Amino acid sequence: MGKKALWKGLPKYLAKHTLEERRKFILREGERLLAKKRRRPVPRVSKATAKAKRAYNARVKVWLRENPRCEACPKINPFPARPATQCHHKHGRGWRGELLMVESLWIPVCGTCHEWIGGYKEKAIALDLLAPKGQWNELPPEKVKS
């Protein structure tokens, strides 16, 4: 399909105008469209949440360097431990992330084991890779500060 001539798309009332008037109209319309204020999209997370996530991601990166081997591999399968690439939260991340930064509840795991823990919750609880029912998203009794 060929290109349409620019003046074919103009309003009918401009058809009787000269080519110079048509060009001025097109320039005005272009300027009007460019001058329209674009709306900024609503952020997906608040500034405070974004700041907390940045701090968490930075800490996990350092923590994974300190804990390079998957702790779940030897418990799940007979193979040697693979490199840990993810941080598993044994007790969950807590309501509004209150357990997010509690490193004593983190377990270094590889991606395969992390999926396995999520898929086989009962077996993961038996292997102490997941908190028992009733303790999910809560600080364990021995970790509570008195």
The confidence band for 116, taking pLDDT boundaries of 50, 70 and 90, is very high
Q: For residues 96 and 137, what is the distance between their CA atoms, to the nearest angstrom? A: 10
Q: Which two tokens stand for residue 36?
A: 């329209």
pTM: 0.64
pLDDT in tens, 39-83: 778 878 888 888 988 999 999 999 999 999 999 999 998 888 899
